[in-house]
Amino acid sequence: METAGNLAREIKVLVFDQYGTVVDMQKDLTEVAAPFLKDKGWDGEPHRFVTWWRRTHFENSMIDALCDRGHTPYREIGHRAVSYVMDRCGIVYTQDEVRWLVGQIEQLKPFPDVIAALERLRAAGYGLAILSNGDRDMLEAAKPYIGFAFDHVISVQEAGYFKPHWKTYATAERIVGEDRSSCLFVANHAFDCIGAKAYGMRTAFIDRRKRPFGETPHQPDLIVADFAELGASLTGA
């Protein structure tokens, strides 16, 4: 693991995952799903419904990338995932309801510590970018809810694969215009950090959930509890 000081000297651009890293996906989707599920008469725990939704979405996006038969939009994968989980829960639903639930992803808010840390990093001279599995139009719709103007907001549609395919990180490298070794990829997900590190980027793992990173040769260069610690680590404060 590198020292924060060494990273601060060598990094020029920070590239962030959006869903679950910049925005609080689990909490906000649970708040949306809870009254919906109650109206449907489902007596399970809403946070578990959201966890199943997210895990099913992840599994289906990985299948899509591995099949290598053309990129399926994030929104379409989301529809499949929500429909599957509703079926699993025995909930009667319409496709309009599925579309509504998936559409809530566009309105997610940042974690409370995110914006101040991003402003601090920008003031220190770093370039700031998003690299997300979301579709271009979903990322565009999300901008007012995030409330921060990144230098680049990059969808994996540009690469034609979901992360952690190496072409997604290569696409980000090309668009931000800096060598991969000068890019720090930041994510709350180990798989995303592993993909970026395997490609040759430096990585920072946001360990909000206090979980082990796991045994892999592609360990993160920096592990921090949240964005506040990330900002402090890279700005020397």
pLDDT tens per residue across span 168-215: 999 999 999 999 999 999 999 999 999 999 999 999 999 998 989 999
Domain ranges of the chain: 4-24+109-235, 25-107
- Checking if the pLDDT of 236 tops 90, the result is no
pLDDT tens per residue across span 50-68: 999 999 999 999 999 999 9
- Average pLDDT on 213-237 reads 94
Tokens of 7: 């990273």
Tell me what pLDDT residue 2 has.
Answer: 64
- Average pLDDT on 70-82 reads 97
- Checking if the pLDDT of 102 tops 70, the result is yes
- Checking if the pLDDT of 36 tops 70, the result is yes
Tell me what pLDDT residue 179 has.
Answer: 97
Tell me what pLDDT residue 198 has.
Answer: 98
Class of domain 4-24+109-235: alpha beta
- Average pLDDT on 6-28 reads 95
- Checking if the pLDDT of 219 tops 70, the result is yes
- Average pLDDT on 95-104 reads 97
Tell me what pLDDT residue 97 has.
Answer: 98
Tell me what pLDDT residue 237 has.
Answer: 63
Tell me what pLDDT residue 5 has.
Answer: 76
- Average pLDDT on 17-43 reads 97
Tell me what pLDDT residue 225 has.
Answer: 96
- Average pLDDT on 144-166 reads 97
- Checking if the pLDDT of 159 tops 90, the result is yes
Q: Structurally, what CATH architecture does the domain formed by 25-107 represent?
A: Orthogonal Bundle (1.10)
